[in-house]
Amino acid sequence: MTLVTNHPLLDPFNTDDQYISIYLGQEHATLRDSIAFDRIIKTAESTGRPSYDMSTKTHGIRFHFRQSQGITALGAFRIGVEYEGESHYTSTIVLMHNATITPEQTTLTAHLGETVTILFNTDMMTDTLKWRFNGDLIYGSKGKQSLTLENIQMDKAGLYKCFIQSHRWDADQQAIQLLHIIKCPAYRWGADCEQDCPECLNGGRCDADSGECVCPPGFSGTTCDQVLGSNRFGQNGSFSCDTSGDDHSLACRGKLFCLPDPFGCTCAAGFMGIDCTRECARGRYGANCLQECHCGPTNICKKDTGECMDGTTCADDWTGVNCQVRGSPSLDTGDDEVITDIATTSLYAPIADTTLAPIPVTTIDTIPASTTETTQPVPSFEISSFQYSRVNHGNPTTFICVVKASPSPPALESISVTYTVNGQLTIIPRLNSTANETTRTSWYQATVRLDEMPKNFTCLFRGPDEMILASQDLAVYVFEPPNFNEANILVRESTSQSITIRWSAWNGNYDYGDGPVIGYHVYYNTNGQSDLVRASQNIISNTTYHITGLVHDRQYDIRVTALREGEGGEGSYSSPITKRTSCIAPSTAPVLSLRGQTQSSISLSWEVIYDYFIYSYN
């Protein structure tokens, strides 16, 4: 059983597709009639379940939270089924999108006897923090951002909550995390933990009851050695987030996958973060990006599967389909001679999955009858790579399509990149193309926009008769500019010609868009007018700015924007704050008498006269 939580960060006013889906294997599909859905203790103001619409699927059931339920859909939930007389549970977490306190991860899994640190992040004053465990106050926890539990035992498994004192139920001022504990020490299983676990690859965990490897999303097999891709999940990889047929589609981005307790929850292969939207950094791959690549000198691998890219091979002392098996394969001949790298050695040979790997297409021309049998080269080809560079909204991105062919590289005109909108096919302009003995690499460019994402692009390889011989799809995402949920602009000082303001730093945990933020811009305009003036041409690196050159006794609207790197990286204006500059007034009231004075004898400027009347009026 796998739970899929769409939008693990709750935004009750802007999200209408918040749901938890239960996926069951084909052999267990009938168990959907016995599914029980409930909340784990009181994790919101309500002790019961939030209202939802339930729909029955072939694979299981979907619980769709109603938007009107607001923050009651926040918290920790558990799905249970009865199977062979035993209850089996899978748990998931839904957090608030703008919370001021956030966990490092939604669930944490540890083995019996290990030391565990539970950490929550916050910008608030830590002396206001308090902790609870399964609803009970943890004494001595006040003011702490983390708890360290040594030699952990089974009674410490459960729900940990960190919250701001006197704001226990405020949705945006609390964070929760589930701690799962495996009943055996690491690498052991059995009734008395007497058995040795197999080596589970790619983030798999050994089940303490059966000794089998439980595989994270994107992997399958008895030791989780079969690589599937970011769009596949389930113990046998039988489910996908979309119907594109592309195992590397990014459709699982933003979803949380929870396997039967005590495995816990992870993002899809290739993603990380509590909202599962951040892609793995270079050198990392897999669910939650916890796995390390072991590829050649550049250590570049696919972010979902860990397979080497750009023609690189496994680093020294690593082998396997994605270089996660230690040591080079060898065969002992029995006479001190070792034959290395034998492809037929079943112990090390990777398991082939013809539904996942690119399949070379082979055609054989008819050979005229001849008395002399001649061996002809067998043409073959494949799209070995199709990638893009992620850019800011409204900017051009570059696509790279690599096609391998034998016995010679494909012709330039046989490769194209396209996309379709409302049935209209668009061909992307080609920037450049290069070829070597067997490979042609082509570059294309297209402008991508946030309101059109994800947009599926396709690299096509056509034969001489224009028949499509191979294609590969690619879902494209753009960086969303960083926008404030609330900038909290405050006026620190105001004079007749200047205003000094301070604002909250953009925070990815409760503000919108993508970071990292490299700085800010400050804008102002006279109240009631529409023309905005940028206060500084340079990027402001801190959260305080002194606006100068203003006019006295005038009301100004002031806004702030956050910026990420690159063209188009500036977010929307924050909500404005309105402030009036002070008046110009002399230290003592002037004594003016204009009677009897000729025009030529009046030496006061109109500004001084204006200030006199303003001073007298005040």
Final residue of a structural domain among 262, 279, 296: 279
In single-letter form, the type of residue at position 80 comes to G
Q: In this structure, is residue 365 part of a structural domain?
A: no
pLDDT band for 390, please (50, 70, 90 cuts). Answer: confident
Q: In this structure, is residue 299 part of a structural domain?
A: no
472 lies in the same domain as 495: no
Higher local confidence (pLDDT), 235 or 390: 390
pLDDT band for 32, please (50, 70, 90 cuts). Answer: low
Q: In this structure, is residue 594 part of a structural domain?
A: yes
CATH of the domain at 530: 2.60.40.10
456 lies in the same domain as 526: no
Share of the chain above pLDDT 70, in %: 80
pLDDT at 335: 40
125 lies in the same domain as 188: yes
pLDDT at 456: 80
**Phi/psi of residue 69, each to 5°?**
-75, -15
Q: In this structure, is residue 315 part of a structural domain?
A: no
Final residue of a structural domain among 448, 476, 504: 476
- Give the domain range for residue 451: 380-476
pLDDT at 378: 55
537 lies in the same domain as 587: no
**247-281 residue pLDDT tens:** 999 999 999 999 988 899 999 999 998 889 889 88
415 lies in the same domain as 447: yes
**296-324 residue pLDDT tens:** 877 789 999 999 987 788 988 889 999 99
Q: In this structure, is residue 325 part of a structural domain?
A: no
Mean pLDDT within 229-235: 89
Q: Which residue has the tokens 């640190």?
A: 117
CB contact set of 108 (below 8 Å; sequence gap of 6+): 116, 118, 177, 178, 179, 180, 264
265 lies in the same domain as 229: yes
> DSSP code of 598?
-
Task: Say how far residue 38 (Cα) sits from the centre of its chain.
Answer: 27
CA angle 608, 614, 617 (to 5 degrees): 140
CA 364 to CA 143: how far, in whole Å? 74
Mean pLDDT within 396-406: 89
Q: What is the mean pLDDT of the chain?
A: 80
Task: Say how far residue 407 (Cα) sits from the centre of its chain.
Answer: 41
CA nearest to 198, candidates 190, 183, 188: 188
CB contact set of 370 (below 8 Å; sequence gap of 6+): none
465 lies in the same domain as 549: no
Q: In this structure, is residue 405 part of a structural domain?
A: yes
Task: Say how far residue 346 (Cα) sits from the centre of its chain.
Answer: 37
CA nearest to 183, candidates 86, 80, 114: 114
CA 202 to CA 187: how far, in whole Å? 15
Task: Write a three-state SS string for 300-329.
Answer: CECCCCCCECCCCCECCCEECCCCCEECCC
Q: In this structure, is residue 329 part of a structural domain?
A: no
pLDDT at 46: 67
Write the Ramachandran bin of 617: left for phi over 0, alpha for psi from -120 to 50, otherwise beta: alpha
pLDDT at 582: 92
168 lies in the same domain as 31: yes
pLDDT band for 452, please (50, 70, 90 cuts). Answer: low
470 lies in the same domain as 494: no
pLDDT at 197: 92
pLDDT at 550: 94
**74-123 residue pLDDT tens:** 888 888 887 777 788 899 998 888 888 888 888 999 998 888 888 888 87
Task: Say how far residue 254 (Cα) sits from the centre of its chain.
Answer: 6
252 lies in the same domain as 184: yes
Q: Are 67 and 16 in contact (CB under 8 A)?
A: yes
Q: In this structure, is residue 410 part of a structural domain?
A: yes
Mean pLDDT within 135-157: 87
User: Number of structural domains, the chain?
Assistant: 4
CB contact set of 603 (below 8 Å; sequence gap of 6+): none
Reported as type and span, the H/E element at residue 613 is helix 606-617
417 lies in the same domain as 494: no
Q: Are 284 and 270 in contact (CB under 8 A)?
A: no
Higher local confidence (pLDDT), 10 or 202: 202
pLDDT band for 364, please (50, 70, 90 cuts). Answer: very low
CA nearest to 18, candidates 8, 26, 28: 8
Q: Are 32 and 82 in contact (CB under 8 A)?
A: no
431 lies in the same domain as 458: yes
CA 263 to CA 381: how far, in whole Å? 41
Task: Write out the two tokens for 254.
Answer: 């933003």
In single-letter form, the type of residue at position 611 comes to D
Final residue of a structural domain among 476, 508, 529: 476
CA nearest to 549, candidates 577, 510, 569, 522: 522
pLDDT band for 465, please (50, 70, 90 cuts). Answer: confident
CA 89 to CA 1: how far, in whole Å? 9
> By mean pLDDT, which of 57-61, 259-263, 303-307, 529-533 is the weakest?
57-61
CA 47 to CA 383: how far, in whole Å? 53
Find residue 471's DSSP bridge partners. 460
pLDDT at 519: 94
